[in-house]
Every structure is written in structure tokens, then in C-alpha cells.
Amino acid sequence: FTVKSVPTKPIEGQKTGTSGLRKKTKVFTSENYLANWIQSLFNALGEEAVGKTIGLGGDGRYFNKEAVQTILRVAAGNGIAKVVVGKDAIMATPAMSALIRRRSLYGGLIMSASHNPGGPDEDWGIKFNYSAGEPAPEKITDKIFGFTESILELKLAELADVDLSKVGTTRFGSFEVEVVDYTTEYFDTLKEVFDFPALRAFMTRPDFSLVFDAMHAVTGAYANPLFVGELGGKPDSIRNGVPLEDFGGGHPDPNLTYAHDLVELMWSDAAPVLGAASDGDGDRNMVLGSHFFVTPSDSVAVIAANAQAAIPYFKDGLKGVARSMPTSGALDRVAQKLGLQFFETPTGWKFFGNLMDADKCSICGEESFGTGADHVREKDGMWAVLAWLSILAHKNKDVPEGGKLVSVKDIVMDHWKQFGRNFYSRYDYEGVESEQANKMVQHLEGVIASSSKGQKFGDYVLETADNFSYTDPIDGSVAKGQGVRFVFQDGSRIIFRLSGTGSAGATIRLYIETYTDDASKFELDAQEVLKSIIGTALEVSKLQEFTGRDKPTVIT
């Protein structure tokens, strides 16, 4: 094949955020937008990538199939030897991480804007993962951005479109494209983590039931082969199980607002024992029991506390645990009790990878419905569901059929009895004007600077206040300005940060938590318990004054 040099010019704003580059689809389909970024990626990787094999796939959203063909041309044009592509351009984010690891690929590209809606008028996105299967670190993403600002040339190979609907290899001289089944490596990895025969035995108990809502997103392609095929679940356990380019017009974000059908079912008389949902690209998860919601912050804590007993992969104990800074302190208490190494990282999965590569962390999580472990280097929605299945199977192993099953709620209540409960909530103010959001953060920086230990904020006495900064314990890299936080003497916290995954304007996130070990309060409503501290947060930040908003767009 021949490689054409095509002139181009820099396009503004191709800077990646918390998780890759995300923009409106129309921006990505504008001339050279995608090709410029991919070319800049290869410019950043340089000689190192030449002759290597990379993975490619995505969450099934609109424009992915076309994007594959463009990416293949730029990859071949830049000396990549081979691209392994998921059939139909499908590859869930954790599945890509598993693919990279199992096949020792140089890296992989994931076409996804995660939980953001898809379609011609919605969002598109792309992300590069490195050789351990982890999201590229900031030193690489900064370098890519640098090249997008000076790019003048695209190296495009002239290739015919590759048929993505069939598994098999297509050769173009020295360049090769292999279309693969997107479940193989991922399921092989999951089988190393969990006891599939035991899960199958539990899944097929007549008194157990599961409903998994794939939200018409990528896990639709995995849920049937996994829960029905491998584990013997009933076909009607899978809801919205066909991936669609626009996710059926929905918002593929597994939370109480967007997964409303599942939520309704779980609070009805027909509620199954376990309910779960996953997001656009399959890395997030929501776990529900009958009439019960497990907050993501609690979920990671419960999984960590039960992992050794319930999941074969962790039978020798955990190396350590980690959570992102705004995630509640529930996991901290588990780490303390079990005597585990514990790490608090900035938001975004890229910070967990180094800890895992250095054997310092086995399980980690974020408040934003992200839970995962060191079997891959991404959060993993299906893994989280299998972890909960394993815990349920373990807790019920002595319960005879027809006996009273230990429920999801029982497991969490029991956890709170041992560790106490961290009441937690997140308020999102979406679509705020960027300038106003920045002004609010500046104002908060001022409050921090003039605050002192012992100062009263509403009912709370300050311990420390800062803008969170993280020094990576492995490579020493520093990430600054990761969120303004007020930590009070009773452990309560107020945190503000700006989202790094939006495609337009700014989103302010307010995270609030308090703690109790008073068992009589465990069943109280978090919103009620948090009312006073939320009032304090709004007062301190002058959020309403800066943004004009008197309520958030989403509460989780």
C-alpha cells in the first residue's frame, strides 16, 4: 500500500480530560479532527510504536465503525504492524484492558464517550491505553496535546475498508488487521478471577434471580454470553441487552436517575435478588438489592472486606486498596481493620495503574460507579457484578433451598455494623458557564488560604482544607489542583471539583460525607442526614451566587 502525506493544520482544544478526548460527535466528524488526534498520538509515541501491534474497539456508539477505518489508515501510515479490532468495532473498556494484557499488545484505542449519550447530535470520544492495559498517563496525554497544536501533516495509508462483521485477518502488504471475538480474552481473564462453576451453581438456584440492565450499551454484547451462556442464567435476566448506536436514545449511565426501569423493578414486588447495570463502555456498574441501593463507595468497601473469603483470585489476601479522593471513607475503615496498605488518588482510573503494577493495590474504586481490581487496569462493570454474585453465593452457601437467602441489604447492613456507615452524596451542577465555575473555585481557594484548624463551618470544626495534590508513590509525578476539600474533625468532608469528562461548558461536582457508628441511624435517608452539611457547603462556596443555580441537575 502507499502512504500519502496529507497537509493539515492544528485544531484547537484537542486536550484530553479525566478519561480521553470527548467532544460532540459533529466535532469529531469535522474535517481531519479525528485523524489529527490519531496522528498526534503516533507523533507522541514516536519510533517506539513502529512495528508494534495495537488493539482497537469501542462501545458500539454512532461513528465508531467509520472511525475504525480512519484509525486503521493513520496507524498503517505510521508504521504500526498490526491492529487487533473487535468484531463490529465492539470492545468494552475493561475487555480492551484484558486484550492488551493477554496478547501483550503495545497499547489500545477505545472509542467511547462512556456514559455520555451517543448519536450524531450527542457525544463521541477516544482514549489510548498503554501496554499494561492502563489509561495513558498524563505525561503521554500532555505530549499528544502538544503535537495537536503544531501538526501539519497526516500520514495516511491508502487502504480499502476492512469488513468488521467477520472474525479473520486481512493483509495489506506489511500491515495486518485481525478482527476478533471481543469476549475471548476478557472472559478468560474473568475465569481466572472467579469460580465460574460455583457461580453457575448459585445462579441456577431456583430461589436466586438476577436482572442485568445493559442500557443498550456495550455490555449488551457481553451480558448474554456471560450470564446466560457461561453462568446458566435465564435469558430474561438481561434487559436492554442489544447494543445500539444511540443507546436507544437513553443516557447509558448506571445510576438511580438514568437506570430508572431497573430502579422501578428493584422497588417492586417482582424485584430479583440482585439487580445491576453498566454504562456505555462497560466500566461502570450499579448494584442493587431488592428495595436497596448500594452506593459505589460502600460497594468497593464491601467487596474489599469479603474478597478473600468469596473470590478465589484474592484467596491469599489483598495487597492493598485505593480510592479516589472524593470517594467516601468507607474503604479506609476496611483497610484499617484488615491492616491493608491504603492509597487516596485523584479522580480517574489512570492513577490506580501504577499502584497495581507495583503490587501495592488489589482492589480500588470511585464514587462514580467505578469498581475494579488488578486483573485489568480499568474499572470493570461486569467484574463488579460477578464480585457481588460471589459474595452472595458465599454468604448463602449454607442456606438450603427454600430457606431465607442472605440479601444484598443484609450484607450491607452487616458491613455497617462492623465498620459504621459513611453517609454520602454527590450533587452535579451540569452546563454551568466555565468562567463562573472557575470563579467559584478561586473563591474557595481564598477560603482555604484564610482558614485555620479549629475554625467552625456551620456545625463542623475544621481539621484541614486544601486543594488536593497527589504525588505518585511509584514514579514521583505530581498531580495538582485535584479538588478543593474541607475535612472536619469528626471525619465529615465537603469537596468541590470540576468535571474533566464533559463535552461543553463546566460541571461542578459537590461531594459530601459524614460518618456514624450509631446503629440506630444506619437506616436513615442520606439526604436527610446530610442536609446541614450540604447547607454549609453551599454557603461556604457561594455556589448559588456564582452559578445562579438553586439546585443540582443530578443527585447521586
From Co ion, ligand VG1, none, which one binds at residue 426 (CB under 5 to 8 Å depending on kind)?
Answer: none
Q: Which residue shows C-alpha cell 459530601? A: 512
**Residue of 104, 115, 113 lying closest to 53 (CA atoms):** 104
380 scored as a contact of Co ion (CB under 5 A): no
DSSP three-state, residue 2: coil
**Binding positions for Co ion, 101-140, rule CB under 5 A:** 114
Question: How many Å apart are CA 162 and CA 173, to the nearest integer?
Answer: 14
Q: Which three cell numbers stand for residue 311?
A: 473470590
Q: Which of 500, 516, 524, 538 binds ligand VG1 (CB under 6 A)?
A: 500
Residue number with CB closer to Co ion (195 or 281): 281
DSSP code per residue over 133-176: SPBPPHHHHHHHHHHHTT--EEEEE--PPP-TTS-EEEEETTEE
| In the block, residue with C-alpha cell 467484574 | 383
Q: Which residues are catalytic?
A: 114
117 binds ligand VG1 (CB under 6 A): no
Q: Which of 368, 503, 514, 541 binds ligand VG1 (CB under 6 A)?
A: 368
Q: For residue 283, state whether it binds ligand VG1 (rule: CB under 6 A).
A: yes
The yes or no reply on residue 283 touching Co ion (CB under 5 A) is yes
Is there a contact between 64 and 123 (Cβ–Cβ < 8 Å)? Answer: no
Among 57, 133, 252, 370, binds ligand VG1 (CB under 6 A): 370
In angstroms, give the least distance from the CB of 279 to Co ion: 4
When binding is defined by CB under 5 A, the residue of 134, 195, 253, 279 that contacts Co ion is 279
Cβ proximity to Co ion, 22 vs 333, nearer residue: 22
Grid coordinates given for 188: 478468560
- Residue 368 has phi, psi (to 5 degrees) of -85, 40
Closest distance of CB 286 from Co ion, Å = 12
CA 28 to chain CA centroid, Å, is 22
Instruction: Show Cβ contacts of residue 30 under 8 Å, excluding neighbours closer than 6 positions.
Output: none
Amino acid at 372: G
Report in angstroms how near the CB of residue 280 gets to Co ion at its nearest.
6
Number of residues that bind ligand VG1 (CB under 6 A): 18
Q: Cα separation of 241 and 142, whole Å?
A: 37
Instruction: Tell me the residue type at 138.
Output: E
The amino acid at residue 430 is E
* CB-nearest residue to ligand VG1: 114
- Given the C-alpha cell 484530553, which residue does it identify? 16
Cβ nearer to Co ion, comparing 91 with 151: 91
CB of 362 to Co ion, least distance (A): 21
Q: Considering the complex, state which of residue 195 and residue 472 has its C-beta at the smaller distance from ligand VG1.
A: 472
Piece of 192-200, 305-313, 343-351, 547-555 that binds ligand VG1 (CB under 6 A): 343-351
What residue 43 binds from Co ion, ligand VG1, none (CB within 5 to 8 A, per partner kind)? none
Q: Which is nearer to ligand VG1, 295 or 347 (CB)?
A: 347
- How far apart are the C-alpha atoms of 35 and 136, rounded to whole Å? 19
The only residue of 275, 348, 372, 483 in contact with ligand VG1, by rule CB under 6 A: 348
The DSSP element (H or E) to which 536 belongs, if any, is helix 526-541
How far is the first Cα of the chain from the last one, in angstroms, to the nearest whole number? 52
Residue 371 binds to ligand VG1 (criterion: CB under 6 A):
no
Q: Which stretch binds ligand VG1 (CB under 6 A): 51-59, 202-210, 221-229, 498-506?
A: 498-506
> Interface with Co ion includes 253 (CB under 5 A)?
no
Cα gap 383→51, rounded to integer Å: 33
Binds ligand VG1 (CB under 6 A): choice among 64, 347, 390, 556? 347
Q: In what order do the strands lie in the sheet with 292-294?
A: 238-239, 210-213, 274-278, 285-289, 292-294
Give me the least distance between CB of 320 and ligand VG1, in Å please: 19
> Is 509 an interacting residue with respect to ligand VG1 (CB under 6 A)?
yes
Q: What phi and psi values does residue 396 have, to the nearest 5 degrees? A: -105, 10
Q: Any contact of residue 501 with ligand VG1 (CB under 6 A)?
A: yes
**Does 59 contact Co ion by CB under 5 A?**
no
Q: Could you tell me whether strands 320-324 and 341-345 are parallel, antiparallel, or unpaired per DSSP bridges?
A: parallel
Residue placing its CB nearer to ligand VG1 in the complex, 292 or 369: 369
- One-letter amino acid at 183 equals T
The answer to whether residue 285 forms part of the interface with Co ion (CB under 5 A) is no
Residues numbered 17-36 forming contacts with ligand VG1, rule: CB under 6 A: 18-19
User: Does residue 279 bind ligand VG1 (CB under 6 A)?
Assistant: yes
Touching Co ion, residues 192-231 (CB under 5 A): none
- Any residues with CB less than 8 A from the CB of 442 and at least 6 apart, and which? none
Is residue 349 at the binding interface for ligand VG1, with CB under 6 A as the rule? yes
In the sheet that 53-58 helps form, which strands lie side by side, from edge to edge?
Answer: 21-24, 123-129, 107-111, 53-58, 82-90, 175-180, 168-172
x/- map, 284-323, ligand VG1, by CB under 6 A = x---------------------------------------
Q: How many CB atoms lie within 10 A of CB 156?
A: 20
Per CB under 6 A, residues contacting ligand VG1 are 18-19, 114-115, 279, 283-284, 324, 347-349, 366, 368, 370, 499-501, 509
Per CB under 5 A, residues contacting Co ion are 114, 279, 281, 283-284
